[in-house]
Amino acid sequence: MIELPLAAPPDVVNVGVGIHGVRSLRDVFRLPDLWQLHLYSYSAELTVDGTTYAVAPGYVSLTPAGAQVQFDYRGRSEHLYVHFRPAAVGEPSYLPVVQDAGAAAPVLADLLRSALESSPSGSARVTAEVWTALWRIAELGSSSSAEDATHPAVSAAIAYIEANLAQPLTIPALARMAGVSHNHLTRLFHAETGLTVIAYIRQRRMTRALHLLVSSTLSIPAVAASVGIPDLQAFNKTCRRELGGSPRAVRNAVAGTTPAG
């Protein structure tokens, strides 16, 4: 297990797509002062300070600064990566070096691609996306047993919702993606989560909105668009109902603790 402080946002140095295994099937390197996050779309072996782990599509790894890393590829291999420095404050989270992200893999991929498309690397938007991804990784272990008990159609729908909060989401489209009927997904979803599909989507959008309002300097219209509610009047109304105040009031309420961008 590794210790990763997550109480404050990290210093994100670089986000990118790595393509390896073309010229050489082995890479060996060490980053003296940077942590590494990798999200894999291939199978390979990862060795960190002498311990070897198998990685596969949908797996995620966290490597502390200063660790010697060796990758043994099986061919052309592409992954998403982040190089960062954790903020050395607060109690650390304890995480395995390698985990199977399971249904959360599309969510993590969406967050990292969003960070990659934002610029520059140290911007508040990039920091917010990476910080969210790190928290999702930290929560994988605690949520694994619940996920194992979830119906596959519900798991697929939830993963799709999480990865596409900024896009229009409809129950018929989710049902087609999950391979079940509209009515069957509705029944399964309520049985598994206690919520309707629409209520779940609204809850997840507002949880994400709260995070962005608190931990980023994105404008309120940008936050609204990022959670799929671009109509500012509708966003304001939903914030008041779900978060207890207008977007500006929510942001101002925690202004004293909001991290700098």
Among candidate residues 124, 143, 162, the one where a domain is terminated: 143
Last residue of a domain, one of 118, 143, 168: 143
Run of H or E including 27: strand 26-30
The answer on 129 and 58 residing in a single domain is yes
Same domain, 63 and 126: yes
Assign residue 235 the CATH number of its domain: 1.10.10.60
Last residue of a domain, one of 108, 143, 178: 143
Answer yes or no: are the C-beta atoms of 71 and 20 closer than 8 Å: yes
Nearest to 213 by CA among 224, 228, 198: 224
Question: Does the pLDDT of residue 22 top 50, yes or no?
Answer: yes
User: Which residues contact residue 90 at a Cβ distance below 8 angstroms, ignoring those fewer than 6 apart?
Assistant: 5, 6, 7, 8
pLDDT in tens, 118-176: 867 667 888 888 999 999 898 886 544 444 456 778 888 888 888 788 889 999 999 88
For residues 79 and 189, state if they share a domain.
no
Q: Rounded mean pLDDT of 95-115?
A: 89
Residue 261 lies inside a defined structural domain of this protein: no
Angle, CA 137 vertex, CA 238 and CA 77 arms, to 5°: 115
Pair 59, 182 in one domain: no
Dump pLDDT digits (tens) for 186-219. 999 988 888 899 999 998 899 888 888 887 888 9
Q: Which helix (H) or strand (E) holds 186?
A: helix 182-193
Question: How many CA atoms lie within 13 Å of 63's alpha carbon, on the beta-carbon side?
Answer: 27
Pair 131, 218 in one domain: no
Share of the chain above pLDDT 70, in %: 92
175: domain range?
152-256
